[in-house]
Structure 1
Amino acid sequence: MNKDRPSPSRSASSLALMLTLVATSSACGGAASGSSDADNGSPVSGGTLSFAVATDAGCLDPQQVGSSDTLYALRQTVDSLTDQDPSSGRIVPWLARSWEVGDGAKSFTFHLRSGTTFSDGKPVDAEAVKKNFDAIGKLGGLAILAQGYLNGYRGTQVVDELTAKVTFDQPNAQFLQATSTPGLGLVSPADIARTPAQRCADGVHGSGPFTVAAYRQNESLTLKKRKGYRWGSTAWKKKGEAYLDAVKFTVVAESGVRAGSLGSGQVDAIGGVRRQDEGVLRRGDARVVRRANPGVVFNLGFNNARPLTRDARVRQAAQAAINRAEIASAVFPGGTRPAASVLSRTTPGYTDLSEELAFDRKKATSLLAEAGWTKGKDGIHRKGGTKLSLTVVTFSNAGAYQSALELVQQQLKDVGIELVIKQLQVTQFPQTLNTGDYDALWGGDLTRADPDALRTLYSTHQVNSYRLPAGELDTVLDRQAATTDTAGRDELVARAQQLVVQNAYVLPIVDQEALFGVSERVHDLTPGASGGVRLHDTWKS
């Protein structure tokens, strides 16, 4: 498998995920536009779907990959215990036909479907579930999302051949939704025995409706339909094998070139549609499919331990200085909404805090004066000989997001805060995070249709890239993770959002959306509830 692949260097995609997770997914209740396939006739089998993406993570193991572009493909190769219905947000059967949550959300017992196999022929049984979850801890930071899902993992008991009981040291209410994500997609026990580098280089054997047929790093990844597949998610329309014979993902870095390729019929679908591409696509034989991303919104996240950003009044002043509506309308695709909380509107438990996030330049100036800062001749505040200058770290290939950051930079300058933009390559992030040599991180959004995304990023018990102080936020996030009652959990999640916003630990900027360009001859290509796209039901006319 994957004989065309050159030897890779170690991928940093999982680490980058902490900072710039802009995965495509649908929200609970989030509507898609341009995705209706009514009146297109009956679906037909066959054909190859050509899909252009911007990047390649350089790894073929979905448990280690955080890049949404790469997960578009790898999600098709692995199944999960459960699925999350994109339209309702409900957790529905997939590899597990049923389950029970017990002991106050400390235990989860899954009853597996019979007859399911990985692409190497090994059975998807309780022993395979155990080996997968036991091994994820050994991946360490290479599987940072999965690590968070399994926080406090005690072990998996093989009750019988098709029954696995997963237990935790403490209540873990988010785990059931986590089992629907590609980060906890199951791979063959034979792959678990190999090193992480080998899994990245050679790929893994999932039980999904497609398998990897060929891969050339930074060029293309081709999938082929798996014959005999018959255990799909109950959220899918079609039973049995996929319609498409194959799917070829091609790396095309420039968004304009991707849009042009779709418009000219060279490709069938593209990811990463930019603001300037929408008009081009609508004028051609294509449509834009969009779904709102659940989880943590796109933001400017402070290092709360740095001398200048340790002062809450400085952070709050910066928050009041941000004109989110201007950024959304000037930089992002049409329909993008200003953030009204640290969670997006489509996340279960979302609370509207738009009043606290209102643009108020006078408030920003007043807060800085209260903190003892005075404007210098150059318009930048100073105190005791120290200039109010903050360094924000971003990716050198941030694209449209770079334009948004430059607008934030100007808005902060208008109230006397200097923002210095420091561009880094992905490979520089590990050392940067370890040293804490930054005042802020640009990005920080985490796509997940569960409010526990807050705990992943902002609990001091996790990675804590933002150097948040231990306190009430930890307590609240831990309690929501232990609460299975929906109303009670929503109250705790609301308090967590209030604490993040009121203390301006991070500055929410905009709700993110996943936008795809899709040819009119392609039908039923839709985003999934926890990232990526759903291609099992997709067909071409």
Structure 2
Amino acid sequence: MRRRLIAAAAALLLAGCSVQPARQEPPPAKESTFVYARHLVVVTDWDPATSYSNEIVAMQNIYESLTVYNPVTKKASPRLATSWRVTPDGRTWTFTLRSGVTFHTGRPLDAAAVKSSIERTMRSGSGPSYIWDAVENIRADDPLTVTFTLKYPVPLDLVASSGYAAYIYDTAAARDLKAWFAAGRDAGTGPYTIATWKKGKRDELTLKAYRPYWGGWNRPHYTSVKFLVIPDPGEAWQRLLRGEASFVNRLNPALYRRAAGTAGVRTAETPSFQTAMLLFNTASGPLADVRIRRALRKTIDYDGTLRALRGAASPATGVVPEGLLGHLPGRTHKQDLQGATELLAAAGYGPGGRALRLTLTYAEGDEDQRVFVERLVATLAPLNITLVARAMPWDAQWARGKTRGQDIFLMYWWPDYADAYSWFAKVFRSAEETEFNLTYLKDRVADGLIDTLPELTVTDRAAAQRAYARLDRRLLDVQAAAAVPWVVNYQRAYLGGIQGYNDNPAYPEVVFAYDLRPAG
């Protein structure tokens, strides 16, 4: 699940380019805490330049980007930038910044700070920094104007709304920023700042209001945000009932149905850009044989999985979910046990052949993944395949995957910004160092197609769609490097008095706490 919600920042998303900075208002009269109960550890990396995992749920409340994705218009909307313009060739973008914004360090936000933070992120060379690959240079024209010159056209307004690596932060906060961030400090402009961080504890993280926040605190807001790590959905549900949690990001189907009929509890079910992916080890072990990988894809009971997840999932037609360029409508995947048996027999395995033993890792506390894995174990047993499945904390699962320590890696993926490119650039493109390319595939044909996508998306969307279709078929059908069993439907439960919650598919698992109205 990689990194794995974002409630839409309603006031911000609807803001126009004429928005003026808010006056400093007195603090709210009543202190209130939003408690987010989630099944995964929150923080794996505190550095906004390199963060590429679960901490998005906290960091989107601490840091801000130039723009934010608006799921209603399906375009970028103002955030730290109030307006922007682009030249006809798509290679020069100029952003006008919001005035009166300060970092949590007290320093003012200006064009020089934007330039400095993005350049530091680019220099990091980390996984998410690739979003800025098209940038040739950045120029601070005046305190509130910053211009980007690109090597080739990309939709920079969407890039600047990315959930990762687009954060603007104070690079002057410390001499050794990496170490400073690692200690649990921040240098953002968002409505909240870090109050306490207890690494490895259940009450892992608490944020507090940043009082000089440019949006102001004159109307009701949550003044603190607490993140609880509770892998057991039953315990999370009980905490919600007792009012010890405000929001639970994931329940099992039975508990979600119960929540929908419980007084004082609200539920929300929305489609997402988040796909479940089985990534096969193409480099070593039994799955280096493409016949076995193709057989495994055929063993998956796609329709049965959807029924078992009871509304928490939608059919996946390919790598890219509906709502993004690259989606392939009408394509279906069906279980074919006879075809799987024939492929296994050709490789010397299956009923009557050699026994096959495979290992699979998945996220501890994720009920949907657990249900899927249990069904897959039962499906494979009659085919003379023993699947040894292990639920692991995400950071441990990821660390193991980087060493090729499994045959199958089950995780979620969503785009870094509202564009399908990151599935291919980060999960499937050849790489010398393993990060999220956990199939370990090296395919020069696929790499060449992937590298054409950013520019084609701007210059020839029809050609981009054709490239996505070719990639999907090559990676899933020809190479059989992965299987995509379902697309996640978000099923949330939260206290009934909370107003203003909405999911934004571009920021999975993030709740923008500032935009909520506290429960009474």
Q: Structure 1 length normalisation: TM-score?
A: 0.80
Q: Which residue matches 1:179?
A: 160
CA apart distance, 1:523: 0.2
Q: Which of 474, 486, 509 does residue 485 from structure 2 map onto? A: 509
1:16-59 deviation per Cα after TM superposition (whole angstroms, max 9, x unaligned): xxxx22633589xxxxxxxxxxxxxxxx9854143232344345
Unaligned runs of 5+ in 1: 1-19, 28-43, 232-238
* Cα 1:49/1:67, change in 2 over 3 Å: farther
Q: Which residue matches 2:344?
A: 368
Aligned pairs for 1:309-388 (under 5 A) are 309-330=287-308, 332-352=309-329, 354-355=331-332, 357-369=333-345, 371-377=346-352, 381-382=353-354, 387-388=355-356
Q: Which of 76, 82, 106 does residue 121 from structure 1 map onto? A: 106
- Secondary structure (helix, strand or coil) at the match of 2:258 reads helix
1:135-188 deviation per Cα after TM superposition (whole angstroms, max 9, x unaligned): 2245455xx3x223234654423233222233455x363653232134222111
CA apart distance, 1:116: 2.1
* Cα 1:148/1:465, change in 2 over 3 Å: farther
CA contact (8 A) 1:112 1:125 kept: yes
- Secondary structure (helix, strand or coil) at the match of 1:191 reads coil
* Cα 1:479/1:63, change in 2 over 3 Å: same
Q: Which residue matches 2:517?
A: 539
Q: Which of 185, 207, 224 does residue 203 from structure 1 map onto? A: 185
Equivalents in 1 of 2:110, 2:405: separation in Å?
Answer: 46
1:499-533 deviation per Cα after TM superposition (whole angstroms, max 9, x unaligned): 22222210111111333212111100222342212
Q: Which residue matches 1:279?
A: 257
* Cα 1:105/1:241, change in 2 over 3 Å: farther
Query: Is 2:501 the counterpart of 1:525?
Result: yes
Equivalents in 2 of 1:398, 1:251: separation in Å?
Answer: 15
How large is the RMSD of aligned CA atoms in angstroms?
3.1
Equivalents in 2 of 1:341, 1:45: separation in Å?
Answer: 50
Query: What is the aligned-residue identity percentage?
Result: 21
Structure 1 counterpart of 2:356, one-letter code: L
Query: Is 2:376 the counterpart of 1:408?
Result: yes
Aligned pairs for 1:146-225 (under 5 A) are 146-151=128-133, 153-169=135-151, 171=152, 173=154, 175-183=156-164, 184-191=166-173, 193-217=175-199, 218=201, 219-225=203-209
CA contact (8 A) 2:3 2:56 kept: no
CA contact (8 A) 1:148 1:456 kept: no
Aligned pairs for 1:393-404 (under 5 A) are 393-395=361-363, 398-404=366-372
Equivalents in 2 of 1:26, 1:364: separation in Å?
Answer: 42
* Cα 1:111/1:524, change in 2 over 3 Å: same
CA apart distance, 1:364: 1.7
- Secondary structure (helix, strand or coil) at the match of 1:266 reads coil
Name the stretch that deviates more: 300-309 or 99-108.
Answer: 99-108
Q: Which residue matches 1:227?
A: 211
1:351-404 deviation per Cα after TM superposition (whole angstroms, max 9, x unaligned): 13633x2212222223334x3435455xxx43xxxx433332334555542332
Equivalents in 2 of 1:242, 1:118: separation in Å?
Answer: 22
Unaligned runs of 5+ in 2: 9-27
CA apart distance, 1:133: 1.6
Equivalents in 1 of 2:188, 2:408: separation in Å?
Answer: 38
- Secondary structure (helix, strand or coil) at the match of 1:92 reads strand
* Cα 1:488/1:97, change in 2 over 3 Å: farther
Q: Which of 449, 452, 455 does residue 421 from structure 2 map onto? A: 452
* Cα 1:25/1:427, change in 2 over 3 Å: closer
Q: Which residue matches 2:468?
A: 493
CA contact (8 A) 2:49 2:129 kept: no
Structure 2 counterpart of 1:259, one-letter code: W
* Cα 1:389/1:161, change in 2 over 3 Å: same
Q: Which of 248, 264, 271 does residue 292 from structure 1 map onto? A: 271
Equivalents in 2 of 1:242, 1:73: separation in Å?
Answer: 22
CA contact (8 A) 1:320 1:358 kept: yes
- Secondary structure (helix, strand or coil) at the match of 1:539 reads coil
Q: Which residue matches 2:21?
A: none
Equivalents in 2 of 1:521, 1:177: separation in Å?
Answer: 33
Equivalents in 1 of 2:310, 2:159: separation in Å?
Answer: 29
Equivalents in 2 of 1:374, 1:506: separation in Å?
Answer: 20
Query: Is 2:405 the counterpart of 1:420?
Result: no
CA contact (8 A) 1:303 1:439 kept: yes
Structure 1 counterpart of 2:466, one-letter code: E
Q: Which residue matches 1:38?
A: none
Query: Is 2:245 the counterpart of 1:267?
Result: yes
Structure 2 counterpart of 1:486, one-letter code: R
* Cα 1:245/1:404, change in 2 over 3 Å: closer
- Secondary structure (helix, strand or coil) at the match of 2:244 reads coil
- Secondary structure (helix, strand or coil) at the match of 2:187 reads coil
Q: Which residue matches 2:443?
A: 470
Equivalents in 1 of 2:463, 2:87: separation in Å?
Answer: 18
CA apart distance, 1:324: 1.6
Query: Is 2:18 the counterpart of 1:21?
Result: no
Structure 1 counterpart of 2:314, one-letter code: R
Equivalents in 2 of 1:307, 1:224: separation in Å?
Answer: 49
Structure 1 counterpart of 2:375, one-letter code: L
* Cα 1:353/1:436, change in 2 over 3 Å: farther
* Cα 1:240/1:424, change in 2 over 3 Å: closer
